[in-house]
Chain A
Amino acid sequence: MPTITLNGQTQEVPEGMSVLEAARMAGIDIPTLCHHEALGAYGACRVCVVWAEGPGQRPGLTAACTTPVSNGLAVQTESAAVQSARRVIFELLLGRSPESESLRSIAKRYGVTSTPYGEGARHDLCVRCGLCVRACREKIGTAAISFAGRGQGRDVSTEFGALSELCIGCGACAAVCPTGMIRVKDSGGERVILRDDLTIARFPLLTCTSCRAPLVTEKFMDLRLQGLPDGQSEVLCLDCKRKRTAATAESFANIWS
């Protein structure tokens, strides 16, 4: 196992771990916006910036999430250079998304409450962390959304900005979005998935077979429940399932009485 030094403390860490994971294991606080345990390392937001040096690592600032641990690596997470770089990164992100509450709250924790950047630039809630894009592609396996455009015009988008034919309407993109840029709206038996002003997809919802409450999309049932044996997937809402469970509870309890 490689030995690394975190803020002066020497530590043995498992091979293949990132500096971010090693630091968190040691209880060291490193902020992140684009990191998610279920998704691959990405290095988009840069707020996990640290100073690293060692054999094979040129001394300098690097993103902790994409830097693997190696024997003899020395990492500083709170040096003056790291703090000042992190401040600038937060200022740049705030210049892009000044209205984002979650971004403002995490920036504030690191002492950044205003930004000299972003005047006259495009503002929206999206911090381009790519969590939605990665969750959709890596875990749901549909790649309904992706980044399109360049520079200030870089946006999360569907194919040609049209209604996505690939989206299955699961809403994982909205669930992982740290700023609320992506939303799922269910109303009138219909589900709409929105990125700001762009409609990603629109679905009629299948209704609960018992109480008729709108529940889930047909594509979701087809694609996400494939792993279950035949006949084990059903469109039944939580309440109706619980009622059925309660109705069968009597006989189930008899087994041990």
Chain B
Amino acid sequence: MNKLVIADPGKCIGCRTCEIACVLAHSAADAMVRMSPASFNPRLRVVKTTTVSTPVQCRQCEDAPCAVVCPTGTLVLRNNTVQVIPSRCIGCKSCMIACRFGVIEVLPCEATLSDRPLVSGTHVEAVKCDLCENRANGPACVEVCPTKAISVIDAALFAQAGRKRREHAAMVQAACSPGEYPGQVGN
């Protein structure tokens, strides 16, 4: 079971602190100095509509459609997450179209040319939430959210949630009279 970062829209106040933390967590140390609107590409995006405000990020799908359609094996399953091997990306954007959540992007990466000691042909790469794989304290967005709206859900929490809902369903059923069925279970 894959783990994922998920936000509670009920707690999100739309401050975008998570977006900034995301960019900083995935940038070189001098990112603040070099940052520009073009290079500000957080892997999670706060969506604000008239009814909801919440960051949206990769769901780490078990059958990841992005990985299914990728012709170069750029998207791989690693440590129960879907991860990108940027040097393999050829920029065909199949993943972008395949993703149902709109959370993988193919972006021009100036970093690829300047940070690498070697010039390969790669000018673009697929970018998505990597659960801050290389960060000691885990996802930066989870850490900075002022309302604690963002959390990491793993297999154990999934199982726990399932157990709770079954218990709830059982209680509802037990409260019914014989021959009667609960109208709504798990609410």
Contact = CB atoms under 8 A, between A and B. Distances in A.
A184 to B, nearest CB: 10
B90 A243 contact: no
A250 B87 contact: no
A232 interface: yes
Nearest to B52: A246
Given A176-B90, A228-B69, A238-B105, A220 B122 contact: no
Contact of A172 (B7, B90, B100, B118): B90
A131 B90 CA distance: 10
A170 to B, nearest CB: 4
B65 A228 contact: yes
A38 B73 contact: yes
A243 B49 contact: yes
A232 B66 CA distance: 11
Interface in A173-227: 174-178, 215-216, 220-221, 224-225, 227
Given A178-B121, A221-B97, A224-B97, A38 B89 contact: yes
Size category, A interface: 35 or more
A245 B103 contact: yes
Contacts of B88: 37-38
A80 interface: no
B120 A232 contact: no
A133 to B, nearest CB: 12
B96 A238 contact: yes
A208 to B, nearest CB: 11
B94 interface: yes
B8 A139 contact: no
A250 B102 contact: no
A38 B6 contact: no
B26 interface: no
Nearest to A28: B117
A158 to B, nearest CB: 18
A32 B118 contact: yes
A170 B93 contact: yes
B8 A140 contact: no
19 contacts: A24-B118, A32-B119, A37-B87, A38-B74, A38-B90, A102-B113, A141-B71, A172-B91, A224-B92, A232-B65, A240-B102, A241-B100, A242-B101, A246-B47, A246-B49, A249-B54, A250-B9, A253-B8, A255-B165
Ranked 9 nearest A-B pairs via Cβ: A175-B91, A241-B102, A38-B72, A246-B47, A172-B92, A242-B102, A139-B71, A38-B88, A238-B102
Given A176-B123, A252-B6, A256-B151, 16 more contacts: A36-B121, A37-B85, A38-B88, A102-B119, A172-B91, A175-B92, A176-B90, A177-B123, A215-B97, A224-B71, A224-B94, A238-B102, A241-B101, A245-B101, A246-B9, A250-B52
